[in-house]
Structure 1
Amino acid sequence: MSARSNPALPPDEVAESLFQAEHETLLRAILGNSTDGLFVVDAQGHKLYANDVAHGILGHGFTRYDPNGWSERYGLFYPDTRTLYPSEQLPLYRSLQGEEPPEVDLFIRNPSHPEGRHFRVKSRPVRDRQGKLLGAITNLKDTHEQRQAEAVQRRTELRFQLMLETAQEGVWMIDADRRTTYVNQYAASLLGYTPEEILGRHLFEFVYQAEHARSDRELATQQNEGQAVLVNDFRLMRKDGTPVWTLIAACPVQGESGEYLGSLAMITDISQRRENEEQVRRLNVELEQRIRERTAQLEFSNRELESFAYSVAHDLRVPLRSISHFTQALSEDCATPLDATGRDYLQRIRASSQRMTELIDGILAISRVNSAELVETDVDLSGLAQAVAEQLQRWAPERTIRFQLQDGLVDRGDAQLLRLVLENLMGNAWKFTREKPVAEIQFGTLPETGKGRVYFVRDNGAGFDMEYQKKLFGVFQRLHTQQEFEGHGVGLATVQRIIRRHKGRVWGEGRVGEGATFFFTLHELASR
């Protein structure tokens, strides 16, 4: 396609008509100092004037080449940077057809700009007073940096929008009139809507009726004080009218001068958490009820067992006393007819009845430990240990015993029950060291490690085989025969029950012939 044919004026005459003598210097100065590329052509497209910026953009001036080849010659592309722009659609070409073309964006890549740059091109036809087309003037505005900045901004906005739309949190924006200006897909889906169904609608259309007053207070705080708010256990309303429990973190949106424009909220669905909490609450109620029932059953069983143990113990004492008395009477009154074997049998019967009496006493002692009321005070354990040591020494003044008792040990507990603990542990140590020429009995604490105080009672006596450690605290369980060491096997069982009532632990360590150590703690389980 060629340029429209017009009666041509010589270029000099056209230039003279475009640049009158009285204006030529001023116009050239204005055009020459412009930061945009500017050039003027006649009606045939021949260059009449081009400033330095235009020369820098196009590389060289217009020639008499066919205007249909301008795009290829000067490297004019669409903004996609790949597609050649049709020459007949160029603003300059259309201006030479007498049109008033719109501005267009071009990408120009040529030897002057091998990497290419973006420009906005505007062209206007020039006519004389009679309306005759004399040529056109074209403006090339460099928009490369602007377009790059816009591209960066678009990518940033796209990433931001992608983050909002893919986030597993609801995002909701309202204006100062509380109408929705933005809602992401997650928030809309949470309520059973599409984002388009929510945009423009008042916030309260999606808030549970009972939460309206609370919403007013929180929004007023944001608007008046400019503060962010965190609202827990807040109910929004689904499309079907059912509530959904949420956690909302909201902050005010303000303009450049600080005026309130609206609010932005992040919405977390806590329905599952609420359901879990409700389930835990129901389970706790059921558990508490079961505990009350089980406690009542245990208390009843304990009372029954205590009553049974007490009754059995007392009922057994009567026949045992009879056995003991009659065997003694036989020994005293009928000793002559009996031979040595018969007297031995009587002695064994009396010993067995005495043993039974001791076992009954042990049962009653354990029963009393379980049923006794726990009265806690500050207990001087060092003082109790000293009193027990003095009592043991009085029992066998002929024995040589070295007591090592740590001073200053005070702890919370029941004084009577803790004395019973020390009497049993130190009494065992006294008993199992009787074969030693010099018995050694210690009471103290291990070096503290921040995990609580550990007490111990240590001796250098007979010790025990660690293989049988689990039998130590069983009722009537003994690691030594009656002939080796007397006892009825309830002392350590009693200790264990007392320590458990004090929320502690007790355990033992030993080696045969090298002594034993018993450790215990108080209030350890209560502090965890």
Structure 2
Amino acid sequence: MTLPHPTMPASKAADDRFRLAMAASNIGMAIVSIDGIWLEVNPALCALLGYRIEELRGHHYSEVTHPDDLAISNNLVAALVSGALASVDEHKRYVHRDGSDVWVQLNIAVMRDEDGKPQYFISHMRDIGDEREADLARSARMAEHGAALDASNRQLQLFADAVAHDLRAPLRSIESFSALLGERAAERLNETDRDYLTRIRAAASRMTGLLAALTELSHVTRAEMRIAPVDLSLLADWVGAELQDADPRHRGEVSVQPGLQVEGDERLLKLMLNQLMHNAWKFSCERAAGEPGGELAPVRIQVRGEVVGSRLQLSIQDHGAGFDMRYAHKLFEPFQRLHGPDQGGGHGLGLAIARRVAERHRGQLRAHSQPGAGSTFTVELPLRFKGEESADA
């Protein structure tokens, strides 16, 4: 047979060189007609499928294609002929002469004449059976390891929940009895004693808040998602009202853009907004308290949103203390604080909780700030919920 060339006249010398290259190759190679007939096959392909050259040449590729992959092969051939695909690089099954499956990485290119008319296919087939078995074994080990890790994480979480629960009772006792001691022995306590008592109550209160935050972090990680349309504007207004009620000393100006909506879990998204807006309120109050003059400066928080493509970019902006962006990488890690307790710093879990909620909604949380000029936290959420991120995301 003389092979036509897509761009130049065929020559016997070129034909011979091509045949020698095919014969010497250790990768299965074939020339296939447009209607699917093997025109030329090399020894490596014959060894791969277990046939002699004369048993393949002149036969249709479908005779040795795995039945479950035949439709895929036909569709790929049609796409190559039509020009929808320039080439094919796929994993595909053939049937060995002994009936076993042969997995190959198949590469096909269509050769065309000067007018663009398809002439024949050139196919390369590389045996990937061992690679596939290794991948399957590796996947099985990873699945087994993942199951063991999930079980270990569940046990660890149960342990953490139990510890948090059991610690609450003694903490309540410390808070209650220290309060009673302060009331009943107030006249007998000197300034140093009263300071010690205040420190004890403050430490117990911080520990109670830390346990509550740990419980919330556990909840947002494990809680079953209940997906529905969520009005984020309504939730932000709600959180703003709660913040004002909890801290009536500071006048709040919480501005919320209307019409901010996504799909997600309303409970978790409200918790996320609560953490972010509480953070904005807290550090704005710290700055407002330091303002000169009689009346405290108002706390100003803006909640805005912009739809970009299929995602909502929700921003919570304050005009508080801000922080140095050199340390921004610590913000969302549990127990990391950029401010001490005397500067309004808390337990270091609020932003970690907010980030986990965003991640479970396949979203992201980032921050931008300038010391003394306030901070902006931006949550990027998909408008349509398409499944949550894994717990290890």
Structure 1-normalised TM-score? 0.52
Give a deviation string over 1:350-385, Cα, whole Å, max 9, x none.
221222121111211212222211111121112211
Q: State how far apart, in whole Å, the 2-side matches of 1:336 and 1:401 are.
A: 38
Q: State how far apart, in whole Å, the 2-side matches of 1:505 and 1:411 are.
A: 14
Question: Is 1:339 aligned with 2:194?
Answer: no
Are the equivalent residues in 2 in contact too, given 1:379–1:410 (CA < 8 A)? yes
Instruction: List runs of 5+ in structure 2 lacking aligned partners.
Output: 1-8, 23-28, 68-80, 82-87, 111-118, 289-296
Matches within 5 A, 1:177-196: 187=42, 191=46
Residue from 465, 470, 476 that aligns with 2:324: 465
Alpha-carbon offset, residue 280 of structure 1? 5.3
Question: Is 1:498 aligned with 2:357?
Answer: yes
Residue from 310, 315, 337 that aligns with 1:456: 315
Q: State how far apart, in whole Å, the 1-side matches of 2:147 and 2:43 are.
A: 53
Give a deviation string over 1:91-143, Cα, whole Å, max 9, x none.
xxxxxxxxxxxxxxxxxxxxxxxxxxxxxxxxxxxxxxxxxxxxxxxxxxxxx
Residue from 375, 379, 387 that aligns with 2:230: 379
Are the equivalent residues in 2 in contact too, given 1:433–1:462 (CA < 8 A)? yes
Aligned to 1:481: 340
Aligned to 2:299: 439
Alpha-carbon offset, residue 172 of structure 1? 8.0
DSSP-derived class of the 1:464 partner: coil
Are the equivalent residues in 2 in contact too, given 1:463–1:516 (CA < 8 A)? yes
Aligned length: 327
Alpha-carbon offset, residue 466 of structure 1? 0.8
Give a deviation string over 1:437-464, Cα, whole Å, max 9, x none.
243312222462x474322111111111
Are the equivalent residues in 2 in contact too, given 1:474–1:493 (CA < 8 A)? yes
Are the equivalent residues in 1 in contact too, given 2:262–2:312 (CA < 8 A)? no
Specify which structure has the bigger relative contact order, considering alpha-carbon pairs within 8 angstroms and separated by 6 or more residues.
2
Question: Is 1:268 aligned with 2:123?
Answer: yes
Aligned to 1:419: 270
Q: State how far apart, in whole Å, the 1-side matches of 2:211 and 2:372 are.
A: 31
Matched letter for residue 341 of structure 1: T
DSSP-derived class of the 1:453 partner: strand
Structure 1 pair 211/295, CA: closer, same or farther in 2 (3 Å)? closer
Are the equivalent residues in 1 in contact too, given 2:239–2:274 (CA < 8 A)? yes
DSSP-derived class of the 1:477 partner: coil
Alpha-carbon offset, residue 409 of structure 1? 1.9
Of 392-401 and 454-463, deviating more is 392-401
Give a deviation string over 1:393-442, Cα, whole Å, max 9, x none.
33345644333322222212111000111111112112222234243312
Question: Is 1:352 aligned with 2:203?
Answer: yes
Aligned to 1:158: 12
Instruction: List runs of 5+ in structure 1 lacking aligned partners.
Output: 1-154, 215-227, 251-263
Matches within 5 A, 1:285-324: 285-324=136-175
Matched letter for residue 363 of structure 1: L
Alpha-carbon offset, residue 233 of structure 1? 5.5
Are the equivalent residues in 1 in contact too, given 2:318–2:374 (CA < 8 A)? yes
Structure 1 pair 285/514, CA: closer, same or farther in 2 (3 Å)? same
Are the equivalent residues in 2 in contact too, given 1:207–1:237 (CA < 8 A)? no
DSSP-derived class of the 1:497 partner: helix
Of 157-166 and 310-319, deviating more is 157-166
Aligned to 2:291: none
Q: State how far apart, in whole Å, the 2-side matches of 1:202 and 1:300 are.
A: 54
Q: State how far apart, in whole Å, the 2-side matches of 1:387 and 1:372 are.
A: 22
Give a deviation string over 1:33-88, Cα, whole Å, max 9, x none.
xxxxxxxxxxxxxxxxxxxxxxxxxxxxxxxxxxxxxxxxxxxxxxxxxxxxxxxx
Matches within 5 A, 1:7-22: none
Structure showing greater Rg: 1
Alpha-carbon offset, residue 344 of structure 1? 1.9
Structure 1 pair 431/244, CA: closer, same or farther in 2 (3 Å)? closer
Alpha-carbon offset, residue 190 of structure 1? 5.2
Q: State how far apart, in whole Å, the 1-side matches of 2:43 and 2:174 are.
A: 91
Matched letter for residue 147 of structure 2: A
Of 367-376 and 282-291, deviating more is 282-291
Matched letter for residue 123 of structure 2: T
Q: State how far apart, in whole Å, the 2-side matches of 1:331 and 1:385 are.
A: 39
Q: State how far apart, in whole Å, the 2-side matches of 1:513 and 1:417 are.
A: 31
Q: State how far apart, in whole Å, the 2-side matches of 1:403 and 1:244 are.
A: 62
Q: State how far apart, in whole Å, the 1-side matches of 2:175 and 2:198 are.
A: 10
Are the equivalent residues in 2 in contact too, given 1:234–1:247 (CA < 8 A)? no
DSSP-derived class of the 1:456 partner: strand
Q: State how far apart, in whole Å, the 2-side matches of 1:520 and 1:283 are.
A: 41
Q: State how far apart, in whole Å, the 1-side matches of 2:358 and 2:14 are.
A: 63
